[in-house]
Chain A
Amino acid sequence: QVQLVESGGGVVQPGRSLRLSCAASGFTFSSYGMHWVRQAPGKGLEWVAVIWYDGSNKYYADSVKGRFTISRDNSKNALYLQMNSLRDEDTAVYYCARDNVGGAGYFFDYWGQGTLVTVSS
């Protein structure tokens, strides 16, 4: 069965960096686009970034553009989110989610359990 397992969250000071990982299994990872979606405490869902199935296209929310980088390693069935220059407002649970196709963003059919990132001094 499809499984997405995030890791790498924790407490980090403002301005510092953190790298999240998402381990995928149960499907042909290299055939699907992958997204990061976050949820601040008590708030709604916010789309963060997408990477196409082959890594050819990457798109970001304006709130993270220039600070976050999405990447993937299809040989390791792994998705990553490098987060630099972290701000208080980046505090959230970060979910990886599978796109239903190559990366267009029509909908997310599977989600991981999330990893909490807390930005605090």
Chain B
Amino acid sequence: QSALTQPASVSGSPGQSITISCTGTSSDVGGYNYVSWYQQHPGKAPKLMIYDVSNRPSGVSDRFSGSKSGNTASLTISGLQAEDEADYYCSSYTGSSTPVVFGGGTKLTVL
């Protein structure tokens, strides 16, 4: 199972919106509505931000939103804040004997 494809880096200014893409195949992202997104600050554990493509866990800001079209999922962060600077990873269920695949990660820089 190949890793999902994410841009290595994205950047934006405070208050702006950014979108991170996550491209897979019909065997993972495109085949199931089980895409999740994780935020990871340096030296910290990942934190769930979006699950089932577009659902936010309790406590996650509504500035974070998710969507999917075909084999590509997206994470949008609106109203960028300094604390959003972190690495972001997408993940998808695959329905195979290796049921989980991650993206390579995207480093978000808030300028």
Contacts and interface: CB of A to CB of B under 8 A. Distances in A.
Interface of A: 35, 37, 44-47, 50, 59-62, 95, 97, 100, 104-114
Given A45-B38, A104-B93, A109 B57 contact: yes
A107 B91 contact: yes
Interface of B: 1, 3, 34, 36, 38, 40, 45-48, 51-52, 57, 89, 91, 93-94, 97-105
A29 to B, nearest CB: 18
B46 A111 contact: yes
A50 B100 contact: yes
Contact of A106 (B36, B38, B47, B105): B36
Contacts of A61: 98
B48 A107 contact: yes
A11 to B, nearest CB: 19
B46 A47 contact: no
Per DSSP, are chain A's interface residues mostly helix, strand or loop, or mixed? strand
Contacts of B101: 47
A62 B97 CA distance: 10
Contact of B93 (A44, A46, A106): A106
B45 A44 contact: no
A113 B47 CA distance: 11
Contact of A107 (B1, B51, B105): B51
A44 B105 contact: yes
Contact of B102 (A44, A59, A111): A44
Given A45-B91, A104-B93, A106-B52, 19 more contacts: A37-B46, A44-B89, A44-B104, A45-B40, A45-B105, A47-B100, A50-B99, A59-B98, A95-B46, A105-B34, A105-B94, A106-B36, A106-B93, A109-B48, A110-B48, A111-B45, A111-B46, A111-B47, A112-B45
A112 B101 CA distance: 19
Contacts of A45: 38, 40, 46, 89, 91, 102, 105
B48 A108 contact: yes
Nearest to A33: B99
